[in-house]
Amino acid sequence: MIIQSKRIWINGRFSEAQLEIEEGIITRILEYGRKRTDKDYGNLRIVPGFIDIHTHGAYGFETNSADEEGLRRWLRGVPKEGVTSILPATVTDQEEVLLPALRNIRKVVETGYEGADILGIHLEGPYISKAYAGGQPDTHIAKPDIAQFERLQKEAGNRIKIITMATEEDPDFALTRYCHKQGIVVSIGHSAADFRQCELALANGATSMTHVFNALTPIHHRKLGGSGAALRYQDVYGEIICDGNHVSVDTLQYFFRLKGSCRGIMITDSLALKGLPVGTCAKSGSYDVKLHADGSARIKGTQAFAGSTLRMIDGLKLLVEKAMVPFETALNSCTINPARLLREDNHLGRLMVNYDADLVVLHDDYTIAMTYIKGMEAF
């Protein structure tokens, strides 16, 4: 198949080109007009598919619910917002809830599915700080435990790729060091760690920070805190929720100016309420959560955020058009940067020969004309 456009994102700029795709892989990139095309997108933008490494659910489903059809519905739905790969994320709960949730993902992967690719699982909790639990239920918070983690990983079929935890609660950084040795990304989050404690955790194998500015100790000019550590250390990846609610547009601009184009990662942190009508209520862990008109998902009866209902394409638009983040930096945050963090950047995150043909076709107003997953139209 040959796809053509006058604006295909190649090597950090839009170029006139053709993509030759065979068996889900980009096999050649050709000069514009060289071959007869199967799809000519004219002047529409074609960019790599979006990767969401921290998302709890959508369309009435959340990972912890362990509902097979709900998971399949979610995977079929998110390509409409440009997402081609995800890491379903858990929330803090007892082992009796987490194990079936992980088994459900494993079953769907092993039996086959349609839609966005499951690259792995993001285990958020239960090893978090009660003081910074945020929208995570605090009744089932646990101390970091290698034996328990191994049980969870076994049920997941070794698919846990990221673990968010309060590393200051990890004695001698035992689980942090264990996960690092196993190639699992340790992301500091829902953490009361101060700057020095974060520094030590990073030295002991943590490589990322979870939803920076949210559920991390704040920045003060004499005490940088966890959020400050995410900005101070340039090699550390930092997730950030780009909905304009969890973090203001000015703070988003500040974050990406400091992190540059290679380490910031846009996430949705979306809940089951995503894609449902305003005013809808749903369970998230042990909390009742309500969807508000601004897209926020708040614990019912409070102003506290439980998560978001962000669509990735809307996050990209907000970064570029409102936060004034350079397009390349914004695009990298949902393509090549998460791919690098996961060590999947040898086949994901850019439009290049021998990479998966995961791509998004965009109108100038950021509406999506089509998403391709491994060369196939996704909706």
Q: How far apart are CA 143 and CA 167, in angstroms?
A: 10
pLDDT of residue 185: 98
Q: How far apart are CA 122 and CA 64, in angstroms?
A: 12
Q: What is the DSSP letter of 110?
A: H
Q: Crossing angle for the helix pair 146-155 and 174-181, nearest 10 degrees?
A: 40
Q: How far apart are CA 300 and CA 306, in angstroms?
A: 9
Q: What is the pLDDT averaged over residues 139-150?
A: 97
pLDDT of residue 283: 81
**Among this protein's residues, is 294 annotated catalytic?**
no
3-state helix, strand, coil in the chain (%, to 5): 30, 30, 40
Distance, C-alpha 89 to centroid of its chain:
9
Domain ranges of the chain: 49-348
pTM given for the model: 0.97
Q: What is the pLDDT averaged over residues 190-208?
A: 98
From 93, 138, 170, 269, the catalytic residue:
269
Q: Is the pLDDT of residue 286 over 90?
A: no
Q: Is the pLDDT of residue 135 over 90?
A: no
- Mean pLDDT for all residues in the chain: 97
Fold of the CATH domain 49-348: TIM Barrel (3.20.20)
Band (pLDDT 50/70/90 cuts) for residue 314 is very high
DSSP string, 204-258: TT--EESSTTSSSPPP-SS--HHHHHHHH-TTSEEEEE-SSSSS-HHHHHHHHHH
Please report the sign of the dihedral spanned by the C-alpha atoms of residue 233, residue 237, residue 239, residue 242.
positive
Q: How far apart are CA 125 and CA 128, in angstroms?
A: 6
Band (pLDDT 50/70/90 cuts) for residue 150 is very high
Distance, C-alpha 102 to centroid of its chain:
18
